[in-house]
Chain A
Amino acid sequence: MADQASENLRKTPLYDVHVEHGGKLVPFAGYEMPVQFEGVMAEHLWTRQHAGLFDVSHMGPCFLFLKEGLGGPGAHEKISALLEQIVPSDIAALKPGQGRLTVLLNEEGGILDDLIVTRMPDDDLQGMLYIVVNGAVKAEDWALMREKLSDQCMLQTADDRILVALQGPEAAAVIEPHFPEAGELKFMRCAHVQKDGERFMVTRSGYTGEDGFELLLPNNETGLGIVKALLADDRVKPIGLGARDSLRLEAGLCLYGHDMDPSRTLVEADLQWVIQKSRRARADFPGAAKITDQLTNGAAEKRVGIRPLERAPAREGTEIHVDGVKVGVVTSGGFGPSVEGPVAMGYIRADLTEPGTKIDLMVRGKARAGEVAALPFVEPNYKR
């Protein structure tokens, strides 16, 4: 069975590059992905100090665009109105080249996935959105979009390409000689750049809390050449999924399937900032009644940061107790190399969310001291 499963795993276009760099490959979201190269701790710290290159080709990049009227008057408003049927953010308000984090909602206001939606920067491509969804649920997300978004638009998936994230304080200096346009971008802005006759997306974003870029490259010699040129820079090292997880946890960023899932609303996940004022006023997104109620009256539980006060990490699934009563659960937890101690996130009863609140973390049945902590654990380094 195990052998059969591994035979069915997909390989990203960078598989050979991972092997060449000594990556330890594991099954992840249906792909064979590198969990680490030289070691999670070293890779994590390298990314915080220099620049790390992450293969995120397993994720779900795609383009959603109008079948008719692309680049014409009102095209962005038309495509936005379609997508806004299933996300609670103000997509229409995005400026050309601007991106935004949002969530896909079910009818109960639960989170089906988180995604980044970017308005294309080009005049002739207004009416097209560049969207990146999570790899583990991309098939479901795309099915939902095709089902809900009428026949006025088309969805073109792009997960056959190379998607890499270059993250860290030296990322901009590394990328600028290759793509001068990229260095000028601010956080959550994109450029549509050209090289060797190929056109591709560069967005100033990532999921580590560091400044950085995501590049959607063609799966050919040009794309591969760009990845290899970046890796040839002394400031860049390939980084695996292990450090990606510890970096995003220190940055207080939610991971779908762990800190967010269909049973939690965005209010419970403390992501109410993804709903802009205009959408709150219209209250026209799935689950709006429940979400509006929680925004007004509060939710029963909320996502918070958690600091174990002893050295034992509190992993996902660890129960949170106060006075012997279960009041919550850890949804992500581990060791934070930059924090130099254990860090976690989880859901806790709404009256216990104040940072500093003492809690017991039931690690292997034993109560260990912890406290509610402000997020993020590491201040982000975004270029605003």
Chain B
Amino acid sequence: MTQKFTQQNTFYTEDHEWVTVHGDLATCGITRYAADQLGDVVFVEVPEVGKVFKKGDDMAVVESVKAASDVYAPMSGEVIDANGKLGDAPETVNEHPETEGWFCVIRFSDGAETKGLMDKDAYYEFCKGH
């Protein structure tokens, strides 16, 4: 596997999570579209390091002023890092959802799972339909 941080390595789910694959690791978060829909984020519950998720499991929770929303694991794997900055600065998710507002890094167990996800162009088309 090659280590690259390019758009080609970023995938999107229909639930508005993004995941950037680098080696056997993947960084995930929620998309700009999702962050805008949620409005002012006031709390993020990121997963604990060591937790193991199957693709589609409840992985994190984003609380906006009004409601709590589940965030699902975009790929199966084990959490090896979580974004502690969101604890004190949950608004980072509104400001920079697809960069500084990342939620966690997972060591994924099945790279083929990205085949079921959308690339950037497909995701933008998907959002237009909503």
Residues of A near B43 (CB, < 8 A) are 311-313, 335, 342
B40 touches A313 (CB 8 A): no
Chain A residues with Cβ under 8 A from B64's Cβ?
Answer: 40, 335
Question: In the complex, what residue of chain B is closest to A341 when comparing beta carbons?
Answer: B42
Contact B39 A313 (CB under 8 A): no
5 contacts between A and B (CB under 8 A): A40-B66, A315-B67, A334-B66, A335-B65, A342-B42
- A364 contacts across to B, CB distance below 8 A: 45, 61
**Which B residues are CB-close (under 8 A) to A246?**
65-66
User: In the complex, are the beta carbons of B61 and A311 less than 8 A apart?
Assistant: no
A311 touches B42 (CB 8 A): yes
Given A311-B90, A312-B45, A364-B61, A39 and B40 contact (CB-CB distance below 8 Å): yes
Interface of A is mostly: mixed
CB distance from A368 to the nearest CB of B (A): 10
Name the distance in Å between A225's Cβ and chain B's nearest Cβ.
32
Number of interface residues of A (CB under 8 A): 18
Shortest distance between the CB of B32 and any CB in chain A (Å):
15
Q: Tell whether B87 is near chain A: CB-to-CB under 8 Å.
A: yes
* Complex contact B42–A36 (CB within 8 A): no
A311 touches B87 (CB 8 A): yes
Q: Does B122 contact A (CB under 8 A)?
A: no
Contacts of A35 in B (CB 8 A): 66
| Binary B-proximity of A350-384 (CB < 8 A = 1, otherwise 0) | 00000000000000100000000000000000000
Question: Interface range on chain B: under 10, 10 to 19, 20 to 34, or 35 or more?
Answer: 10 to 19
Q: How far is the CA of A341 from the CA of B65 in the complex (A)?
A: 10
Contact A242 B66 (CB under 8 A): yes
Known: A335-B43, A335-B63, A335-B65. 16 other contacts (CB 8 A): A36-B39, A39-B39, A39-B40, A41-B39, A44-B65, A246-B65, A311-B43, A313-B42, A313-B43, A315-B68, A334-B65, A334-B66, A335-B40, A335-B42, A342-B42, A342-B43
B65–A242 CB distance below 8 A: yes
Q: Which B residues between 36 and 75 are near A, CB-CB below 8 angstroms?
A: 39-40, 42-43, 45, 61, 63-68
Q: Which residues in chain A, 36-52, are within 8 Å of chain B measured between CB atoms?
A: 36, 39-41, 44
Closest 9 CB pairs of A and B: A41-B40, A40-B65, A335-B42, A311-B43, A335-B65, A242-B66, A312-B43, A39-B39, A313-B63
Residue numbers of A with Cβ under 8 A of B are 35-36, 39-41, 44, 242, 245-246, 311-313, 315, 334-335, 337, 342, 364
B63 contacts across to A, CB distance below 8 A? 312-313, 335
Contact, CB under 8 Å: B66 / A245: yes
B71 shortest CB reach to chain A, Å = 13
- Chain B residue at minimum C-beta to C-beta distance from A42: B40
Given contacts A245-B66, A311-B87, A311-B90, contact A40 B61 (CB under 8 A): no
- Which residues from B are CB-within-8-Å of A245? 66
CB–CB A41/B90 < 8 A: no
Interchain CA distance A364-B90 in the complex, whole Å: 18
Complexed CA–CA distance, A41 and B43 (Å): 14
- Closest A residue by C-beta to B65: A40
Least CB distance, B36 to chain A, in whole angstroms: 10
- Which B residues between 86 and 115 are near A, CB-CB below 8 angstroms? 87, 90
A26 and B39 alpha carbons, distance in the complex (Å): 15
Which of chain B's residues 6-54 have a Cβ closer than 8 Å to chain A? 39-40, 42-43, 45
Specify which chain B residues have a CB less than 8 angstroms from the CB of A311 in the assembled complex.
42-43, 87, 90
A327-B45 Cα distance, complex, nearest whole Å: 25
Q: In the docked arrangement, what's the CA distance between A143 and B34, Å?
A: 43
Residue of A nearest to B90 (CB): A311
CB distance from A365 to the nearest CB of B (A): 11
Inside 8 A of B66's CB, which chain A residues have their CB?
A: 35, 40, 242, 245-246, 334
Q: Which residue of A lies closest to B42 (CB)?
A: A335
A334 and B87 alpha carbons, distance in the complex (Å): 17
> In the complex, which residues of chain A have a beta carbon less than 8 angstroms from the beta carbon of B90?
311
